[in-house]
Structure 1
Amino acid sequence: MFKLKENQTNVKTEVLAGITTFLTMVYIVVVNPIILADAGVPFDQVFTATIIAAIIGTLWMGLFANYPIAIAPGMGLNAYFAYSVVGTHGNIDYVTAFSAVFIAGIIFIILSLTPFREKLITAIPENLKLGITAGIGLFIAFIGLRLTGIITAHPTNLVTLGDLREPSAYLTIFGLAVTLVLMTFRVHGALFFGMIATGLVAYFTGQLSFEQGLVAWPGLPEGIIVWNPVEALGDVITHGLYAVVFSFLLVTIFDTTGTMIGVAQQAGLMKGNTMPRARQALLSDSIAATAGAAFGTSPTSAYIESSAGVAAGGRTGLTSVTVAGLFLLSAFFGPLVSAVSGLSAITAPALIIVGSLMMGSISAIKWNELDEAFPAFLIILSMPLTSSIATGIAIGFISYPLMKVAKGKWREVHPLVYLFAVLFFYQLVFLPH
């Protein structure tokens, strides 16, 4: 079913890769409820809804697309939901906002069933794809450094070196060193074993504790929040949430598509300029986004942390199925998951190392052709500086056709690139992001 031999992998490697991906992204089951709680959504509701959405999307990805890519509610989109949609509209409560997410998800499914999104993958210029991969790598490495205090805010220069004497900083450096040594000796699952070593040190030094116990029963205190498309559409029309639906739709399409391309390229699963089984893969996040809105969470996205599992050897959907199974287990281990994911030093080394591996795509960019290189450079630069994959992709899509037109090569640009350059320009200038 998963074609393990064809993809030169085995069950052990795939399971370890799934565990690695899960550990690098499981923070979302804690962070997402915290953010959406600011919009008034009950913590337990979002905790369970986050897991349901992750299971649905990731299982679909593994079983029908056979890719080692995990799906879960996206960071950034949850903040937009809580602070821009609900927070700045006095007459918009979270139920109405979920209606907008639900409608965006339905439109998303329809687009995924058409050749549109597959054509979009083909239409994206090769150097932009390479820039997306490298930009994501730099972004997740920056996240790993920032979350652990190795890089910190500076009032003048924005960022600076943090205090390396802080426990989280030296624990991260320890985990980084152990993992790199294991990788140097080509130990399979080095990223996962590095996390285990870091977790043990954290536990015995008192940085990791389980004060809330280990097990708790999951629940949905408000049941299904949105289920009727007609009523949801009525909410969107009544409150004029067209721009909100458009923003969710546009950002999710490109955030997910860009991440899928980046991870697939890293795993060597792209066939030239195309992504096999693209429709099945793209359906996974659109279905998960719709289901997630019904239960009470913000839109889903393909997770850049999937690249950690790919670096650990994941090549097939068995990796994704493993991730989905672990999300199911995590529903019953809320306190344990909260404790581990609350200590970023355990997963940060994996993010930093994977970031360095993904930066390797820079070497294939045509740096001697300015009209190809500069848009890719802008993507790589803007993703970590704006803390947004979608913003980086938007800037790349806007600058690429402009550079081509300036050089008189406008015929080389696919019409879809021109279309989305206009849409992205409108979104960046006139819509919240």
Structure 2
Amino acid sequence: MIENYFKLKQFGTTMKTEVLAGFTTFLTMVYIIIVNPAILSAAGIPFNQVFMATIIAAVIGTLTMGLFAKYPIAVAPGMGLNAYFTTVVASQGLTYQAVLGTVFLAGLVIIVLSLTNLRKVLIEAIPAPLKFGITAGIGLFIAFLGLKMAGIVQPNDETMITLGNLTEPVTALAIGGLLLTLILMAKRVTGALFLGMIATAIAGFFLGLLQFDGFISMPPAPTLINITEAVSGVFSNGLYTVVFAFILVTIFDSTGTLVGVSEQGGFMKEGKLERTKPATLSDAFATTAGAAFGTSPSCAYIESSAGVAAGGRTGLTSVVVAALFLVSMFLSPAIAAIALLPAITAPILIIVGCFMMEGLAKIQWRNFDDAFPAFAIILTMPLTSSIATGIAVGFITYPIMKVVTGKWKEVHPLIYVFAVIFLIQMIYFPMH
């Protein structure tokens, strides 16, 4: 029954592969249930409330993606959006309830946009060079993230970034885990990414780097905010630009990830993606429900590319991820220990970054009006640590290049509209 529902044979996959892919994706993104509460608690939201809200949003979004869109893409509260949330609360002296109201309204607007054809048209309107650039840009972004997490590179005042201390225990463990996983990949061992993480975790435990203060604990009770009060706070404080910023960044973060991972997994057919509505509704439902329980907007997760690289091809991968998030409610001490040792997941992000470079071969590099916008995306995403900013730069430069070369008719009208919107947003409402 499960095999027929997800059409495993049609996609050349098995239940074992999908389950392994689900575990791989989950382990690369589970840090969010610890990191998100840590960030949002600085805005005044109780840690336990955000912990439960994060899991609820992830389960709702990822199950919607898995059961209805049937893609191996996970959804959870987004990094960057949570930091922006905290900044808004701190800089404008607002209550966190009012800012949760902006997230709730943004979620409702995104639901409406997803029910129309706008997001579907947007995905299909993105020209091929930008799609390939987005995929590669995300690849470099997550590889760079992996390098930073592992301590292989570190900040430097003079050169911005430099080589880290490779003799640091966590860094050395990450390098060892990376080499082992590379060997497993080269030998084409089934479940190489997952096995690499397990082996690194075991090594970390015996080296004293992975310490458990327990494994099981009862989850705190979820807490619903007062929606009416939160939404009225949006209007009384005139927080319309914050709502707009959340809508724009959530949509384009998710769209970028959806396009990038779909290109990687071969789900895009002639630039089109099937079952677009349920796929785009996933982050909308997660954002709205997440806000009601106490967390910032949700989006499709770039770490899903790790599950795709591990062989995940259907929604069964996402269902496994959602189930693991549910179980994580009861395993918070063990999850926290694993999430606090970046050496376990950093090697996977670095390797997956390599997989996502494949689309670069399809860019017509001799056509400068195609090449430069793609290059701009690839350059900007890792340097700004923002998928949305990379997409914005691509959307702005692509139509400019086409207009000045007399090829303006090749550009979909929607691209011109969003180029103007992104230009205004980057000048007047930048998200740092």
TM surpasses 0.5: yes
Structure 1 counterpart of 2:234: 236
In structure 2, the partner of 1:9 is 13
1:315 to 313, 330, 350: 313
Partner residue of 1:20 out of 17, 20, 24:
24
Name the residue aligned to 2:367: 369
CA contact (8 A) 2:69 2:315 kept: yes
Please report how far the alpha carbon of residue 234 of structure 1 lies from its aligned counterpart in structure 2 after TM superposition.
2.5
Q: Deviations over 1:286-307 (max 9, x none)?
A: 0110000000000001000000
User: Does the CA-based 8 Å contact 1:102-1:226 persist in structure 2?
Assistant: no
Partner Cα distance (1:216, 1:143) in 2 = 30
**SS in structure 2 of the partner of residue 188 of structure 1:** coil
The equivalences for 1:260-279 within 5 A come to: 260-279=258-277
Q: CA deviation at 1:135?
A: 0.2
Which residue number corresponds to residue 219 of structure 1? 220
Partner of 2:72, secondary structure, is: coil
Residue 49 of structure 1 pairs with residue 50 of structure 2: no
Distance 1:373 1:158 in 2: 26
Q: Which residue of 2 aligns with 1:425?
A: 423
Partner of 1:75: 79
Q: Confirm or deny that 1:154 pairs with 2:156.
A: yes
Match of 2:407 in 1: 409
Give the TM-score taking structure 1 as reference length: 0.98
The residue type paired with residue 293 of structure 2 is: F
SS of 2:43's equivalent?
A: coil
Letter in 2 for 1:387: S
Contact in 2 for aligned 1:130/1:262 (Cα 8 Å): yes
Tell whether 2:335 aligns with 1:337.
yes
1:371-386 alignment runs, 5 A limit: 371-386=369-384
Give me the whole-angstrom Cα distance separating, in 2, the residues matched to 1:355 and 1:116: 30
CA distances 1:253-310 after superposition (whole Å, capped 9, x unpaired): 0100010010011011111110010111000010110000000000001000000000
8 Å contact kept, 2:99–2:230:
no
Q: CA deviation at 1:401?
A: 0.6
> Which residue, 38, 44, 47 being the options, matches 1:40?
44
Q: CA deviation at 1:227?
A: 3.5
Cα distance between partner residues in 1 of 2:243 and 2:134: 24
Q: 1:232 Cα shift?
A: 4.3
Give the corresponding residue for 1:167.
Answer: 169
Equivalent position SS for 1:153: strand
- How many equivalent pairs are there? 427
- Cα distance in 2, alignment partners of residues 278 and 170 from structure 1: 42
| Aligned counterparts, 1:299-314, within 5 A | 299-314=297-312
Gaps of 5+ in 1: none
CA distance in structure 1 between the partners assigned to 2:266 and 2:126 by the alignment? 18
Q: 2: CA distance between counterparts of 1:414 and 1:220?
A: 48
CA distance in 1 between counterparts of 2:304 and 2:317 reads 9
Structure 1 residues 192-234: Cα deviation after superposition (integer angstroms, max 9, x where no partner): 00000000000000000012x111111246x201434xx5442
Counterpart residue number, 2:251: 253
- The percentage of counterpart residues that share the same residue type is 61
* TM-aligned CA deviation for residue 128 of structure 1: 0.1
Whether contact under 8 Å (2:98, 2:231) holds in the other structure is no
1:89 to 85, 88, 92: 92
Q: Confirm whether residue 127 of structure 1 aligns to residue 129 of structure 2.
A: yes
Equivalent residue for 1:294? Answer: 292
TM-score between both structures, scaled by the size of structure 2? 0.98
Q: Distance in 2 between matches of 1:201 and 1:59?
A: 33
CA shift, 1:185, in A, is 1.2
1:180 to 176, 179, 182: 182
Whether the aligned pair in 2 keeps the contact of 1:226 and 1:295 (CA below 8 Å) is no
Matches of 1:372 and 1:50 in 2, distance apart?
Answer: 39
Residue from 191, 194, 213 that aligns with 2:193: 191
Q: Distance in 2 between matches of 1:14 and 1:428?
A: 40
Deviation at 1:235, TM superposition (A): 2.0
Secondary structure of 2:299's partner? strand
- SS of the residue aligned with 2:312? coil
d(CA) in 1 for partners of 2:37, 2:103: 16
Structure-2 residue corresponding to 1:391: 389
Whole-Å separation in 1 of the counterparts to 2:294 and 2:58: 13
SS at match of 1:12: helix
Cα distance in 2, alignment partners of residues 119 and 188 from structure 1: 37
Partner of 2:115: 113
CA distance in 1, matches of 2:346, 2:164: 15
Amino acid at match of 1:74: G
Q: CA deviation at 1:390?
A: 0.4
Distance 2:257 2:100 in 1: 24
8 Å contact kept, 1:252–1:300 = yes
How far, CA to CA, are the matches of 1:178 and 1:227 in structure 2? Answer: 49
- Counterpart Cα distance in 2 of 1:226 and 1:159: 44
Aligned-residue RMSD, C-alpha:
0.9
> Match of 2:288, SS?
helix
Gaps of 5+ in 2: none
